[in-house]
Structure 1
Amino acid sequence: MGPAATIEYFNLWRRIQQVQLSDVPDKISWKWTQSGKYSASSAYKALFLGSTTAPSWRPIWRCWAPTNAKFFLWLVSLDRCWSAERRARHGLPHDPHCKLCDQEFETMDHLLVQCVFSRITWHEILSWCRLPMPLPEANSSFFAWWSASLAASPASVRKGLNSLVALTAWSIWKHRNVALFDDLRPSTDALVHTIKEEARLWSRAGTLGLASIIPVT
């Protein structure tokens, strides 16, 4: 034997020194169940051992909204949207000021709920739907505010509220992008009008929960 084969032989020999043979027949045991028997459900659960769950997955993926809006919210929850804050962390060129208010450093929480422009938008939309929920404050976290608002709202309006939050946040982000890339002046009136029109279209497309909270006219 060559040197490599000899080393492999001695390693194997050391490993089997502790093996105790018996006359008991071998049996197959599934380690993911107490009984040792295989089940499809235990195999499925084993796939997720060691995984983590994003705390905001439920309102994002359980709401009725187009896939692009849900995917945007998912990126927000993972901090993967290219705000000024994220561009700064990656050493990329950026304008630090929020494109909507031109006052504060742009983060996703600032853009969606802390910015005075965004809070005016939320006030107009929530007032339009007459929803009994608190407005975001200047130091609010978007997902914390969203979760707290759902918990404080009647069960009958939660589906519609979820869709409305998704629509409004997605519209704020698109309005910011138009201001950034097309150099158009931000307008709360224009944004609120767009959100209302989109809400009516979403309700016609099948958003039953949203249809129940938006005004008829």
Structure 2
Amino acid sequence: MVVPKQASWITRKILEARQFWMQSQYTTTNNAGLIIQIYLKMLGDGDRVPWKRMMFGNVARNKAIFIMWLQLQKRLLTKDRLLNWGIDVNADCVMCQKALESMDHLFVHCEFTQHLWTKILNWMQRHSFNSNNWEDHLMWMIQRAKGKAQRAQIFKMVYAETVYAIWHERNQRIFEQKAKEADVFARNVAYVCNIRAPGGSKYLVQSWMI
């Protein structure tokens, strides 16, 4: 079946999947194997992102995972991006008022964020990070999320909740003129993670004091 050129994107995808199904259903008698074939075909040959392990098996709240997903793709609407689009905004970081707000600054260099990360990592009984830029920060995060050990699983959850907390605090300061101290907001992250931790990890998380 020829896929019409004027068809919408979703229509083309449905017809392509149907065509692949018709071609594939006679190549195997294993239904599970056929489903995997179809999934991989529809997935395409796009690059595999290095931070994929942060998404899978992460028990953080859905909204936290979504904000982290945007952050990892550098798609959050930080002020430097708004300025590049020609939108007139006060470009200063609302957390520290010392630099232009960008991904690098907000999640790596900002004094407020650094203090928060120090509090969170001390609570997790981990060493503080010393990143010079976003790429260093990304590698630091990926290394600590490797494997299936409890601490790696907990780290993914805590990272997502911390990123969400930073972005939420930033928005509250801009749009509602409300602000919390880093210590308060570190305790809020710890509280959420205590609640969200799965059964096998809950005792470890609750043993940490902040």
Separation in structure 1 between the aligned mates of residue 104 and residue 112 of structure 2, nearest angstrom:
13
Q: How many aligned residue pairs are there?
A: 181
- When normalised by structure 2's length, the TM-score is 0.73
Q: Percent identity?
A: 21
TM-score of the superposed pair, with normalisation by structure 1: 0.71
Report the counterpart of residue 61 of structure 1 in structure 2: 56
Give 5+ residue unaligned stretches, structure 2.
Answer: 1-20, 29-33
Counterpart in the other structure of 2:172:
178
Q: SS at the partner of 1:61? A: coil
Partner of 1:165: 159
Contact map agreement 2:60 2:160 (CA 8 A) in 1: yes
- 2:115 corresponds to 1:120: yes
Give the distance between the partners of 1:140 and 1:214, measured in 2 at CA: 31
- Is contact 1:112–1:173 with CA below 8 Å preserved after alignment? no
Q: 1:71 and 1:129 mapped to 2: Cα distance? A: 23
- Evaluate the alpha carbon distance shift between residue 213 and residue 54 of structure 1 in structure 2; reply closer, same or farther with a 3 A threshold: same
Output aligned runs, 1:62-77, within 5 Å: 62-77=57-72
Structure 1 unpaired stretches of 5+: 1-29
Using a 3 Å threshold, how does the CA distance of structure 1 residues 86 and 210 change in structure 2: closer, same or farther? Answer: farther
Would the aligned equivalents of 1:56 and 1:77 in 2 still touch at CA under 8 Å? yes
1:149 CA displacement: 2.9
Are the counterparts in 1 of residues 194 and 205 from structure 2 also a CA contact under 8 Å? no
Write the mapping of 1:42-191 to structure 2, written as runs, cut at 5 A.
42-131=37-126, 133-141=127-135, 142-151=137-146, 155-191=149-185
Q: Which of structures 1 and 2 has the bigger CA Rg?
A: 1
What SS does structure 1 have at the residue aligned with 2:55? helix
Query: For 1:122-146, what per-residue CA distance to the aligned partner results, in whole angstroms no more than 9, with x for missing partners?
Result: 1111112212x44243434443221
The whole-number CA distance in structure 1 between the counterparts of 2:44 and 2:187 is 46
Paired letter, 2:153? K
| Partner SS for 1:50 | coil
The answer to which structure, 1 or 2, has the higher relative contact order (CA under 8 A, 6+ apart) is 2
